[in-house]
Chains A and B, each alone.
With several copies, the nearest count.
Chain A
Amino acid sequence: MFRRILIANRGEIAVRVSRACGELGIESVAVYSDADARALHVASADRAIRIGPAPPSESYLAIEAIIGAAQRTECDAVHPGYGFLSENPRFAAACVEAGITFIGPPADVIERMGSKIAARQIAQRAGVPIVPGATPSDQSDAAIADAARAIGFPVLLKPSEGGGGIGMKVVREEASLLPAIAQARREARAAFGDGTLYVERLVERPRHVEIQVLADHHDQIVHLFERECSIQRRHQKVVEETPSVALTPALRRRMGEAAVAVARAAGYRNAGTVEFLLDGTGDAARFYFLEMNTRLQVEHPVTEQVTGIDLVRAQIAVAAGERLPWTQAQLSQRGHAIEVRVYAEDPARDDLPQAGPLLLYREPMMPGIRVDSGVVEGAEISVHYDPLVAKLIASADTREAARRRAILALRRYPILGIRTNVSFLLALLEHPRFVSGELDTRFLDSEGESLRASLDGDAPPEALAVARAADEAIRSNARPAVHGNDPWSALRDWRG
């Protein structure tokens, strides 16, 4: 087992990993930028080392600085968390060159699965379907129309160079096909200076369902079942849960086997996630490989809650060469878990990210509630990094009980000083379509406005009464302005 692990990340995931190290008796080393000198992830680790100024490119993305820190602190492994360098094959390779174990898959696997084209080829070779589609080499109207007919309606015409939905056209029947091709080509040319079109089968109302896999260095691969992450906005997940209401035991087994097949074909090692688009629900549903994330996911806790497996501990054990201690048959799902992501953002203003001090911040502590966070009251949500404040995970025996538990916990989760999406999450958890589980990846596009509309409202009498009482309390008892002028700068170098 490792003696000392450097955690090449910040925020909640750095705290999460350092706790796993603590439980394993491994020393943890935090790295931090100047903006994070007072961050919880730094204080939580057994050692801490500055790696650069606030901008990620000069700190959390600076491969040399991080490798140097790991060498100076004599770490024998590096955990990359998620985001930042976690899917950077150059970083994984640099760790190996420096004689440090990278807790994740080998660099070549990261590279391979990081290429959408290569990853899809691997999936296809493993017999796992991808969404049917092609960029016809003959880009004439007739050739594109033939390609569309071969794929079958409804189809999506996309600029080959595009992204983010710009210039996409849905074609549902033969009659509108040729006009749509012409229009799509014009728009593609206008937006990207290139009229080449990609033709793809349109999956209507798809769900995002992903499978967690775990592979050791002894050719054993298991999956830890699914997570449904259909509630997303601009490709950012907001709510995740497991099990998915859309899966039946047979479908779950098929998807699990497909994910393991992809991992095996890729030569995968450690924890990873195979993302699928799910078309329909139940035994008759079709699923298509989307991509593979070669790292721990933000939403890993729902899997931990429902399987009883600690994924971070498993990652460390696998990286240290241990065998997976369970066979597929020994793994099971029990109960239901829902994760909601608490973001520093203002739902009333286009989800504008918020930065500022947490004047008051109290996490709800109740049975079945887990909060993974990297902040404490008085901390500052920095403008430099992503606005995730915390993940709240509610677990219970049924989906409905977990949903109610999440609601109760959010109602007891005061975050003051910056706007957050807590009230938005509450409205979402109470939306009839969420209650019934009728989800698809466009849920927030179609329901977001109505959810936001429910947020406005004047302060009720009880809030006004508290505001007044707080006047009195603050007058007699001035609470420290922790984040006003800095009384701390004089505190260095006390001799102990």
Chain B
Amino acid sequence: MSSMTVTPVSDGVYRVSDGARNWIAYAAGPADARWVFIDGRVYVIDAASRGMPRRKKGTDDHGALAAPMPATVVTVNVEPGQRVARGDVLIMLEAMKMELPVKAPRDATVKAIACREGELVQPGFPLLELE
């Protein structure tokens, strides 16, 4: 890995140089989710893994699917025990004037459903569980 020099330009603005190439970069946010913008791309870098970045993924697939943002449940398309295939739309939410499909992240069986149509759910609220 090359050696990088970081020179602050002003609040949140940095110049990064590897000795040859030069970038203008922007950074903000807390240490556990530092947002960095360079050349049209955004990286969210967590503190623990500086040097071991990962793009933060939405719902971690621990079986439970959660609402990504405050939303209204429009339809629940599955029932407990139902087999679903990766990509199937399990639940349709609505927020910000748009429909937000909650899709199956993998082939699985629906274990439980934790919301009902018309309900207003908060971010992180578990909507249903897969086996």
Contacts and interface: CB of A to CB of B under 8 A. Distances in A.
A and B touch in the complex (CB under 8 A): yes
Contacts, number: 212
Interface of A: 30, 37-40, 42-48, 346, 348-350, 352-355, 359-360, 362, 376-379, 383-387, 407, 410-417, 419-420, 422-423, 426, 456-471, 473-474, 479-480, 482, 488, 491-496
Nearest to B98: A353
25 contacts: A346-B58, A348-B55, A352-B69, A352-B100, A353-B69, A353-B96, A383-B70, A383-B71, A386-B98, A411-B40, A416-B42, A417-B29, A417-B35, A459-B45, A462-B4, A463-B36, A463-B43, A463-B53, A465-B4, A466-B6, A468-B6, A470-B27, A491-B6, A494-B4, A495-B3
Nearest to B47: A471
B10 A376 contact: yes
B82 interface: no
Given A383-B96, A461-B2, A464-B45, A47 B22 contact: yes
A465 to B, nearest CB: 4
Given A355-B96, A493-B5, A495-B1, 14 more contacts: A38-B8, A42-B9, A43-B9, A43-B13, A43-B22, A416-B29, A422-B42, A464-B51, A466-B16, A470-B27, A479-B28, A482-B10, A488-B8, A496-B1
Contacts of A459: 36, 43, 45, 53
B54 to A, nearest CB: 7
B115 to A, nearest CB: 17
A377 to B, nearest CB: 6
Nearest to B37: A414
Given A376-B10, A496-B1, A423 B41 contact: yes
Contacts of A458: 53-55
Interface in B87-120: 95-98, 100-101, 103
B113 to A, nearest CB: 20
B69 A467 contact: no
A45 B2 CA distance: 20
A393 to B, nearest CB: 17
B39 to A, nearest CB: 5
Contacts of B35: 359-360, 416-417
Nearest to A419: B42
Contact of A383 (B25, B28, B95): B95
Given A355-B69, A494-B6, A462 B12 contact: no
Contacts of A494: 4-6
B96 A495 contact: no
Contacts of B98: 353, 386-387
Name B's interface SS: strand
B24 A467 contact: no
B32 to A, nearest CB: 11
Interface residues of B, number: 58
B40 A350 contact: no
Contacts of A488: 7-8
B124 to A, nearest CB: 13
A463 B38 contact: yes
A416 B36 CA distance: 7
B68 A349 contact: yes
A346 to B, nearest CB: 7
A492 B15 contact: no
Given A376-B9, A378-B11, A469-B8, A464 B50 contact: yes
B42 A352 contact: no
Contacts of A376: 9-10, 13
Contact of A496 (B4, B40, B42, B100): B4
Contact of A46 (B13, B22, B50, B58): B22
B70 A457 contact: no
A444 to B, nearest CB: 15
A469 B31 CA distance: 11
Contacts of B31: 471, 474
